[in-house]
Chains A and B, each alone.
Chain A
Amino acid sequence: MKLGLQPSAHPEAQRGFKLGHNFSALWDRLGMIIILILLCIVMTIMAPNFLEAANMTNILKQVSVIAILAAGMTIVILTGGIDLSVGSIVALSGVVSVMASQAGVNPLLAMALGMGAGYIIGFINGFFTAKLGLPAFIVTLASMTYVRGLAYVTSGGYPVVLEDSTFRFIGSGAIFAIPTPIYFMVVIYIIMFYVLKYTMFGRHIYAIGGNEEAARLTGIKVKKTLVNVYSISGLLAGLGGVILAGRLYSGQPTAGNMYELDAIAAVILGGSKLTGGVGKIQGTIIGVLIMGVITNGLTLMDVSYYWQLVIKGGVILSAVIIDRLRS
């Protein structure tokens, strides 16, 4: 339907060329990257080995599992939800896939089983959240608990040793001197970038997070989209569990403890709003790296784990304060 209204006599071009406006836009784009670079500079000065190539790959390898969880967490948070179950799914997926592998199942199929377990838990989360309208926080808090329980029940409470070399390769191998988990991480982020920017599913995620009621009235399949979002988060947590098991040479029911909190912190550091609708996957990877650099640098400096926790908490808080001050 085309209309031929006369263009107005006063076209008001409201472009914000003020300095404050520009700074804000620049910060939107680069704020957390600047913080990441500053952190790297500080670490380079204080920890002599920090800048070496080996250490850089090491950081990437260390963050890979959290990064994969954070990718799923990003889309959940974009819809205005939260997923507390991913840490427990890491454990369940690891236990299930390693046990299957030890029972003689083809390693690829065993890994798929682990990821499938994650997908199912995610689907259940999505079902209760979207279809029944229960709060995501409570639903995933429940799954965080029962999934951890399932991991203990399945494994009998003990780590299950992983012997298959293909499976181990996923977590500990390297291609062209770059550890395999890094490839997974990079591929996942590229896919996620594409999904969020270039697919209907991705744009609907933003629309739902921005205004769920408007999304519904616009004819977006809100419930279906939400179920898919939680399922993907579960699936990615399952993948994280498989990679971690490959790295630890075992499926451990205690694995992934508190990973959900690191993932959430990374997403928020990356500029996403907990209320939904605002955030980018590029931001999340920066958030993940900030957390990784802090942990790595502090370890190189021989700071005890206890103090690392204190400092990490402080950094998260200050990053969010800076972010708030700007807006």
Chain B
Amino acid sequence: MLIKENVKTSVDSMRPILKMEGISKTFSGTTVLKNVDIELYPGEVHALMGENGAGKSTLMKILSGIHLPDQESGAITYKGERVMWKDPLIARKLGVGVIHQELNLSPNLSISENILMGTVFPRNKLGMVKWKQVHSRAQEVLTSMDSDLKAETLVSALSVAQQQIVEIARALSYKAEVLIMDEPTASLTDKEIDRLFTIINDLREQGVAIVYISHRMEEIFKVSDRYTVLRDGECIQSGPIMETNPDHLVSLMVGRDLKDLFQRGASQYVKTDMPYKPVIEVKNLSDSTFVKNLSFSIYPGEIVGFAGLIGAGRTELVRSIFGVSEIQQGEVLIEGDKVSIKSPIDAIKNGIALVPESRKEQGLFLDMSVKENILMADLQMFIKKGTINWRKLDREARDYIKNLNIRAASPDQAISGLSGGNQQKAVIARWLSTNPKVLLLDEPTRGVDIGAKTEIHKIISELADAGLAVLMISSELPEVLGVSDRIFVMHEGRITGELEKKEATQEKIMHYATGGH
């Protein structure tokens, strides 16, 4: 294999190839990393773990030369020499490669150009690029990975998984000896993940040190040799993966036991009207993508969790209920009446609210104040003779800020200055202002710190107790288990399982989520 020849395996495998000691990093006054130590040995896969915001990305950006560590903080030793990389190109030349979470490819160029980007292309006497040589060089790398991709193909014609392969090929092409993989499997299918693991194993045998960042426990235990856990910018623990288990790792990451997460008791909703009818019923719903024939109903006072792997079709489901994407077949009934929802405006009129998946892209008006973010969906309530009554709006916003415990200096503060958890509470407040009957929550605590997470869980629980029908999508099993009264599990656009709170366990959910019946 080509790669085997290229990678120098001369380094003594007992000595770390790369060592970071006492690394700190401060961004405009905020300490992101505190005295972090990490050692990488040749031929190991090192799992780097931590919650969002724990400092993983920053650490890896320092390692790959994108950021410089703080002046007086520790040292990076690479192959026995102290180094200080000023830019990523230097790091890359010396053999430190990164495969970023977001793909960094130029879609309108060929695979070859993307793989060899940043190197000098072979040229003839007139200075023109010898394309044949460029393509054959790239093809060699691809072949060495057992990939059947053609080097001349445009990247825009590739699937996300194939693009990931190109990213890896690029890292291999410059003979990386330290390779950082940031969530490489996030968008891959099972088969592709297997292929990736084969590649990783090959690389390990060739003596490459791999830093593997992932949230998927299963993968971590399958592929890695050692682990390091970061929390709040500090190194919590390192060790061989054999000496730990998922629960232990999770408790290291969050700093407390899973059981400390919010646990909802039985619903406190008082059933006043008889008969007890569902608020929302979905019958045989299919959308234009791959959501197929879904049926379920949610009763007042109930939180229904939707579990499943990323890409199971849960987001597509709520988006079609909310009128963002088109319903191809089936119907939605609100309080027994069939409704036609063609746009979010229709959905809101029918008492449906959606807290979308991605706060920044779909939820927030970052340049606007907290109070306007909270009341944007309900502005007409503050209009008198065509004029906004700002004083009334201010008062109302203060109520929400107080009731949902949103930590803001004032209602006029720009929402961009709030922490993720408080921003999320503001988005939830916006939807409460529309007085919904059905609340759809898509990953309500993503990117939110643990304290705020518990608070949001409490809010959701109280909303249900007040009579709301809640649908909560979550990819975090402890959240689904802790908050829901009933759980549906989806796999590839279909509901594969329904579990009552009492009988639900992580194992059962995972069984259904991976397609079991």
Contacts and interface: CB of A to CB of B under 8 A. Distances in A.
B376 A198 contact: no
For B347, B367, B379, which residue has the most chain A Cβ atoms within 10 angstroms? B367
A3 B376 contact: no
26 contacts: A1-B468, A3-B462, A3-B463, A3-B466, A5-B458, A6-B405, A7-B405, A8-B407, A13-B409, A14-B413, A198-B387, A199-B383, A203-B376, A206-B368, A211-B364, A214-B363, A215-B376, A216-B324, A217-B324, A217-B363, A218-B344, A218-B430, A219-B344, A219-B348, A220-B376, A277-B368
A200 interface: yes
Contacts of A216: 324, 344
Interface in B311-352: 322, 324, 344-345, 347-348
B367 A278 contact: yes
B11 interface: no
B3 interface: no
Contacts of B386: 199
A8 B377 contact: no
Contact of A200 (B380, B463, B466): B380
B243 interface: no
B498 interface: no
Contacts, number: 106
B361 interface: yes
Contact of B417 (A3, A11, A14): A14
A149 interface: no
A163 interface: no
Nearest to B422: A12
A11 B376 CA distance: 25
A217 B344 contact: yes
Interface string A193-233: 01001111001101100110111111111000000000000
Nearest to B324: A217
A287 B399 CA distance: 39
Given A1-B432, A3-B459, A211-B361, A206 B367 contact: yes
Contacts of B245: none
Contacts of B430: 218
A210 B407 contact: no
Nearest to B354: A217
Interface in A41-90: none
A104 interface: no
Contacts of A156: none
B345 A12 contact: no
Nearest to A210: B365
Interface string A11-29: 1111100000000000000
B388 A198 contact: yes
A219 B379 contact: no
B364 A3 contact: no
B467 to A, nearest CB: 9
A2 interface: yes
A220 B348 CA distance: 11
Contacts of A200: 379-380, 383, 388
Interface string B391-406: 0000000010011110
Chain B CB within 10 A, most for which of A3, A6, A15, A217: A217
A204 B345 CA distance: 14
A74 to B, nearest CB: 15
A6 B402 CA distance: 9
B435 interface: yes
B231 to A, nearest CB: 19
Interface in A99-121: none
Interface string B415-435: 001000000000000101011
Contacts of A314: none
Nearest to B361: A213
A5 B403 contact: yes
A2 B403 CA distance: 7
A3 B380 CA distance: 23
Contacts of A2: 399, 403
Nearest to A194: B387
Contact of B345 (A198, A199, A210, A221): A221
B281 interface: no
Interface residues of A, number: 35
B119 interface: no
Contacts of B361: 211, 213-214
Contact of B356 (A4, A198, A217): A217
Q: Which 5 A-B pairs have the closest CB atoms?
A: A210-B365, A219-B348, A277-B367, A3-B403, A218-B377
A4 B430 CA distance: 17
Contacts of A278: 367
Contacts of B366: 210-211, 277
Contacts of B435: 1
Nearest to A206: B368
B405 A210 contact: no
B455 interface: yes
B372 interface: yes
B362 interface: yes
A165 to B, nearest CB: 36
A15 B413 CA distance: 9
B388 A203 contact: yes
A11 B410 CA distance: 12
A198 B388 CA distance: 5
Contacts of A207: 365, 368, 372, 376
Contact of A199 (B363, B372, B387, B417): B387
B403 A213 contact: no
A14 B408 CA distance: 7
A218 B383 CA distance: 17
A197 B388 CA distance: 8
Contacts of B348: 219
Interface in B78-107: none
A271 B366 CA distance: 17
Nearest to A20: B28
Contacts of A213: 361-362
Contacts of A218: 344, 376-377, 430
Contacts of A5: 403-405, 455, 458-459, 462
A162 B378 CA distance: 50
A148 to B, nearest CB: 34
Contacts of A210: 365-368
Contacts of A3: 403-404, 459, 462-463, 466
A129 to B, nearest CB: 19
Contacts of A220: 376
Nearest to B402: A7
Contacts of A217: 322, 324, 344, 354, 356, 362-363
B409 A14 contact: yes
Nearest to A201: B386
A151 B264 CA distance: 70
A3 B460 CA distance: 10
Contacts of B390: 198
